[in-house]
Amino acid sequence: MVDVNEIQEILPHRYPFLLVDRITEVKEKESIRGYKNITINEAIFQGHFPGHPIYPGVMIVEGMAQVGGVLAFKSIDGITPEKIKNKVVYFMSIDKCKFRSPVKPGDKLEYELAVVKNKGSIWVFKGQAYVEGTLCAEAELKAMIVDK
């Protein structure tokens, strides 16, 4: 398990843009599971949408990408916390993205990603997002780890 403190040692994201609360399972170079608790306190709900709060699809996909970033860093042989501080993951593309079901305040948004391909610093992931076992979103994501 990777808690939010360790996630913040890996990813540069911070409030209000750190979109993963915990990693529950990591299989290096293979797959990862994590989640974000969606609360009405999210600033995004002030405008999306008043009286009918729906967590935006772009935020779901960004959270998925952040979980993928954790997997990429956890999969690098011999990486140290000091080396991680000098690297960052850049989001390169989103393909085959589909939104299936709305995500609302009170939901636990669970992410599952699997490595489709890894060549050097380039990673391709197939990701899904679920709430209580219902598929909410899916996408294929490409990212690259680069020096800051």
The predicted pLDDT at position 73 comes to 96
Closest CA to 113 of 11, 21, 2, 23: 23
Give residue 89's domain range. 4-147
Mean pLDDT of the chain: 96
The answer to whether 48 is a known catalytic residue is yes
pLDDT digits (tens, 9 = 90+) for 65-74: 999 999 999 9
Q: In which band, very low, low, confident or very high, does the pLDDT at 57 lie, cut at 50, 70 and 90? A: very high
The predicted pLDDT at position 126 comes to 98
Confidence (pTM): 0.96
CATH number at residue 37: 3.10.129.10
Please identify which of the residues 48, 94, 104, 121 carries the catalytic annotation: 48
Structurally, how many domains does the chain consist of?
1
Q: What number is the average pLDDT over the span 73-93?
A: 93
The predicted pLDDT at position 13 comes to 95
Buried b or exposed e, range 139-148, using 16+ CB within 10 angstroms: bebbbebeee
